[in-house]
Structure 1
Amino acid sequence: MATEAEQATGLTFHPMDQFIVKPLFGAGEVHWYTPTNVTLWMAVVALAIIALLVMGTRGRAIVPNRAQSVAELSYGMVHKMIEDIAGKEGLKYFPYIMTLFMFIVFSNFAGLLPKAFTVTSHIAVTGVLALAVFISVTAIGFIKNGAHFLDLFWVRSAPLAIRPVLAVIEVISYFVRPVSHSIRLAGNMIAGHAVIKVFAGFAAIAAVAPVSILAVVGMYAFEILVAFIQAYVFTILTCVYLKDALHPSH
């Protein structure tokens, strides 16, 4: 039921309702096996990525079409990012990092479509992505370097007296990585979409409708930029963590 304030102003919007996980069929409880709006849009994103990278580049024309151009630009950008940050040794992990980038950027942009669901607004999704990166780079670090991977936490360039303190700080910051990695992405997606919904709600008031519409347009344009930047930031941090795993010495 609408509150007294909503009845007085005529505003009945709820910005956070767009992030509710709902079953696709019926209105029962959501279990781990229940098809939901989240799984639907994750499937849509996966199919869109396949359409771009597989179907869009199947012709391999010398003069590429739009789909091939976007696919090649994405491939080249991620390839150069890995090489510049983690070195040529990091290129063997290119398929995984490319998959991460494409999934996140497509999910972010898909969430800007009308009636769509932004899967990267949920910590359950971004948390799994961040945790997978954390476990992977930690395993790579120990497999490649053995016990020398622990050199990552021992700052040899610092005075010996403060190295133990810095080591504790480094260990804490290392284990906080998946938390910050996931919350940064989910938080930005939630904040932007909620603000758009708030501005859109004020469009029902004739006195402020023009300002509200302009605010929605401006915020939507900003969210397009944020959608790409957050995918880029998540990917570049993954490359930084990979570099630490491959070359742990300070």
Structure 2
Amino acid sequence: MDIQEARKKIDTIDALLAENYKKRLEIVADIAKYKDEHQMPLIDEVRDTDIIATHTNDCSDEKLRPYIEAYMSAVVSMSNEYLREHMHQHIFLIGMPGAGKTTVGKALSKELNRDFYDLDLTIQEKTGKSIQNIIIYDGEEKFRQHEYDAIRELIRNKPSVIATGGGTVLSEKTVQIMRNNGIIVFVNRDVTQILDDLDLEIRPLLKESIEYIFRLYEERYPLYESVSHIKIGNESNISDTVQAIIEALPNTEK
């Protein structure tokens, strides 16, 4: 086979791949509509993993398996992005304690006509324990598991606004489930303003130390930025912050 003949065969295969992928996306759009109507989570991680594994294992040539795996992973990832564009998503607010996530979240939910959930309050209602008691007596790792479990349940509701805790982003699996099922908005506020308003007696994981809070801000700021889809400053008034978030959201969410 000469190179021209080989290229023609590749062109034929590429045309089939493109046509079949177009059909796949059409079905994905139908699935998006169904999931929206039935309040189902956006991404099904278990099914995605099974799809990739099945087609990878079906390849009889072991040398080609890594390439098949990479190809199927790309197909699934791109399909999920298309799915995301055709579904309403949860809005997760992240940021430092005292950044105004709960206040902003309540106002945002009213503007968008959505339910609002405070993650810490949800955990307290579910466990019958205060956040401080969970952390002191059960440990921070157990508390992070409570956060993950609560979000996993909340995403089964219709698209809502969810204010998370200051340290929710410290759990990779929690960040992943948020990114897979919604839009993460980093509500940023200058640390000096946070210190002015922060009631240290009721904030979990914070010591009565200004230096500690500054250090915490410096440590977490890059993480908040890296995991978020949108970053909004909460420096003036709540209505301006809410409007800025709404303007930054994809059109499907407005």
- Give the TM-score, by structure 1 length: 0.24
Relative to its length, the structure with more helix (as a share) is 1
